[in-house]
Amino acid sequence: MERSRNVRDAVAANVRALRAVRGLSLGELASASGTGKATLSRIEAGQANPTVETLFALADALGVPFGALTADRAAAVQHVRAADLPAVGGGVEARVLTQVPGGALVEALEIAFGAGQVRSSQPHPPGVVEHLILARGRLRAGPTAATVEMETGDVLRFAADVPHEYAALGGEPAGAMLLMAYPWPAAVIR
C-alpha cells in the first residue's frame, strides 16, 4: 500500500508541475491525452491510480518520457531497492528501473505481460525507439502492422512513433526489459 501511495504522490506532483511548465490548462492536457478532465483532476490531486496506458498517454501529450511522471526527483547518489521501484498497472505492469541522461534520454523499464493480455499502444512522439529484451516467456510484439513472435532472450528494436502492441503467448505470462530511447535531452523533463 505504501509503494502505491508513493507512486500516486509522485505522479500527482510530476503531472501538475509538467502541465504548469508547458502552460497547459487541465482541460487542454485532458484533451491532448484523451484522458477525462475529472480523471486528470483526480490524478493531479493524488486521488487516482492511473494505468500504464493513461500514463503513457499523458507522457506523450506532455512530450516527456514515461518515467518523468513516476519518478521522485533523485539525489546525486540514489539507491533504490527493487521492492521500492514505482510500479504502475493496467493492461501490463511497468516499473521504471532507471533513466540514463546525457544527450538523448534512455529509460529502462521492467514490463510484466499477463497471460492473455494484449497491450495496444498509440504512437509515441516522433523519434522514440523501443528496445525490448524478452527475459521470460513468449511474446508477440512490435509495430501493429509488423509484429513478430519473440522467445526468451530475443531482442526487438523498433520505431515506436507508430501504433504498436504486445501480447503474451502460450497462455503464460511474459516479462521483459524495455529501453525507451527519446530523441530529446533529459533536461526537457525538468
Q: What average pLDDT does the structure give for the chain?
A: 85
* pLDDT the model gives residue 2: 54
Question: In whole angstroms, what is the distance from residue 44 CA to residue 161 CA?
Answer: 27
Question: What count of other Cβ atoms lies within 10 Å of the Cβ of residue 183?
Answer: 14
Report all structural domains of the chain as residue ranges with CATH numbers, in order of start.
Answer: 2-70 (1.10.260.40), 82-189 (2.60.120.10)
Q: Is residue 101 within 8 Å of 186, Cβ to Cβ? A: yes
pLDDT digits (tens, 9 = 90+) for 119-149: 999 999 888 888 889 999 999 999 999 999 9
* pLDDT the model gives residue 148: 92
Question: What count of other Cβ atoms lies within 10 Å of the Cβ of residue 1?
Answer: 5
Which percentage of the chain shows pLDDT scores above 90?
48
* pLDDT the model gives residue 93: 81
Distances (CA, A) of 37 to 41, 79, 159, 165: 6, 36, 30, 26
Mean pLDDT is lowest, of 100-114, 141-155, 167-181, for 100-114
In sequence order, the β-bridge partners of residue 129 are 159, 181
pLDDT digits (tens, 9 = 90+) for 51-105: 889 999 999 999 888 888 887 655 444 556 667 777 777 777 887 776 666 667 8
Helix (H, G, I), strand (E, B) or coil at 147: coil
Which percentage of the chain shows pLDDT scores above 70?
85
* pLDDT the model gives residue 75: 46
Nine-digit cell string for 13: 506532483
pTM for this model (two decimals): 0.59
Question: In whole angstroms, what is the distance from residue 92 CA to residue 113 CA?
Answer: 5
